[in-house]
Amino acid sequence: MVKALERIDNRLRWIDQTRLPAVVDYKESDDYFEIIRAIKRLEIRGAPAIGIAAAYGLAVAVERAKIYNPDFIRKVGSEFKNARPTAVNLSWAVDRVLARLNDSEGNPISDAQPLWEEAEEIHREDEQMCEKIGANGAELIEDGSTILTHCNAGALATGGIGTALGVIYTCRNQGKNIKVYVDETRPLLQGARLTAWELMHEKIDTTLICDNTAGMLMRQGKIDCVIVGADRIARNGDIANKIGTYPVAVLAREHDVPFYVAAPASTFDDNIKTGDDITIEERAPEEVTRGFGRATAPDDTKVYSPAFDITPHNLISQYITDSGNKPGGREQS
């Protein structure tokens, strides 16, 4: 199984996901600015993975600067939080590492070791979380099922086997015959570049489709369920996930296809009442007009490019979590 990121000595190593699938390029750095840039540029992406990267990044910053002043460390933490504001795992991981600024006796830290330990524990827990989500989600999937997924919620997006794709891998490991349709996921093609590459690497029966093909497949009765991840889940169950998730959920309800959301407990944010309160990151217009360096629209075209959309809880059949499966707000037929 591919590893999205890992600690190498006092450096962070990651796959540059902007270069997949053409090039598998591993980068290493002990410069926290470079790790922040990697998160912003989507070299490191996926809600759990960017949380893990930020946790390691705090340890990297302190290790290199040899500064143990809490104000400095909190400043670095704020910089990581601002890198991508929508995914709650990022701020959750930063806050958890910041809680280690004092030792067990209440004394200020005198080296970076406690931060490294906390980051490694977050990474281990994420790996275990993925295994639990995979096992819980597999209970919902019958042998011979055909699954549709949107964006990438696999090993590339987490510290383990993934959330949505973790369910698929677990089904495969159980001997179930599973087929997967993968939305390309415009405009950055995370489905085409990342999910299709990852599933094919694992020898999963995979078919890539344009985003606007999902409805036709559902109408033809070719999709048994949809499984997606989530970057933040509000108190009422609304989710923020990659742009294009909402219309897939609407189509799934229209065609009586179960719509599952696979996400860890850390993605649930009780401080956010509904999806309307979630900050939605907007991306640079060039990602739409000059995708991957080639002009696909006039340069002066007005562009609206949110990175995420909100799927209301009443379109969700079940939440697949590391603590069990929980019913969504969608009425079951």
Better pLDDT: 331 or 55: 55
Of 326, 308, 310, which Cα lies nearest the Cα of 246?
310
What's the CA gap between 141 and 165, in Å, rounded?
Answer: 13
For 75-103, b/e burial (b = at least 16 CB within 10 A) is ebbebbbebbebbbbbbbbbebbbebbee
Instruction: Tell me the CATH architecture of domain 5-128.
Output: Up-down Bundle (1.20)
CATH 3.40.50.10470 fits 136-327, yes or no: yes
Q: Taking the model in full, what pTM does it have?
A: 0.94
All structural domains of the chain with their residue ranges: 5-128, 136-327
Going by their DSSP bridges, the two strands 259-262 and 239-242 should be labelled as unpaired
Please provide the size of the chain in residues.
333
| The pair of three-digit structure tokens given for residue 209, joined into one six-digit string | 């489709």
| The pair of three-digit structure tokens given for residue 226, joined into one six-digit string | 């949809």
Q: Is the peptide bond before 187 cis (omega within 30 degrees of 0)?
A: yes
pLDDT digits (tens, 9 = 90+) for 61-106: 999 999 889 999 999 999 999 999 898 899 999 999 999 998 766 7
Residues that are catalytic: 231
pLDDT digits (tens, 9 = 90+) for 31-62: 999 999 999 999 999 999 999 999 999 999 99
Report the pLDDT value the prediction gives residue 333, as an integer from 0 to 100.
61
What's the CA gap between 228 and 250, in Å, rounded?
Answer: 14
pLDDT digits (tens, 9 = 90+) for 105-157: 678 888 999 999 999 999 999 999 999 999 999 999 999 999 999 999 999 99
* Predicted confidence band of residue 299 (pLDDT cuts 50, 70, 90): confident
For 260-297, b/e burial (b = at least 16 CB within 10 A) is bbbbbebbbbeebeebeebebbebebebbbeeeeeeee
Which DSSP string do the residues of 41-57 spell out, in sequence order? TTSS-SHHHHHHHHHHH
Where are any strands of DSSP class E within the chain?
Answer: 5-8, 11-15, 26-29, 146-149, 179-183, 205-209, 225-228, 232-233, 239-242, 259-262, 308-311, 318-321, 324-327
Average pLDDT, the chain: 96
